[in-house]
Amino acid sequence: MSAPNPGPNELPVLPATFRPTLTRVVLLAVGAAMFVVITAVAMILENLGAGERASFVFVALLFFGVLAMLSRPRVTADEAGVTVVNITRSRRLAWAEILRVNLRAGDPWVFLDLSDGTSLPALGIQPGIARERAIRDARALRALAELHGSGVNEATENG
């Protein structure tokens, strides 16, 4: 069932940032908990030397760093365009470069069809844990792209 497209007075105020907040909270909480547990185990084990304890803490920091990197994705829209921050890369797009905003049933995240013929995944809007919010965010981004851009925009959601 599809909700109506957001109207002009329902558009988010710019700059607007879309991110999978619940996923981010879970990843950072798990990362922090893993760091605390691994560090505590390193300190509790009496037969470990200083180097071994340090390696436990280093591994715990690595785990936390990976989970923090996985929590990085976001999509930020402002008057000039959109910045898509994925796990390891960022890309700045002018509104005119975005032809279509897609979030179809089964998609792991939003895809932006671009004027150069490519498609850019926007991991900042992903329906994994918070499906309804992702659909709402995709519709808002689509409406912003329609308002500010020059292409044909279409967000599709089947559920």
* CA–CA separation, 159 and 19 (whole Å): 21
Write down how long the chain is: 159
Predicted local distance difference test score (pLDDT) of residue 128: 84
67: Cβ contacts below 8 Å, ≥ 6 apart? 27, 28, 30, 31, 34
Instruction: Lay out the sheet containing 98-102: strands in order across.
Output: 98-102, 110-114, 119-122
* Number of DSSP helices (H) and strands (E) in the chain, helices first: 3, 7
> What are the strands, taking DSSP E only, across 53-156?
74-77, 81-85, 90-94, 98-102, 110-114, 119-122
Tell me, yes or no, if the pTM score tops 0.75. yes
Give the pLDDT of the chain (159 residues) as one tens digit per residue: 334 455 545 688 999 999 999 999 999 999 999 999 999 999 999 999 999 999 999 999 999 999 999 999 999 999 999 999 999 999 999 999 999 999 998 999 999 999 999 999 999 999 988 889 999 999 999 999 999 876 444 444 443
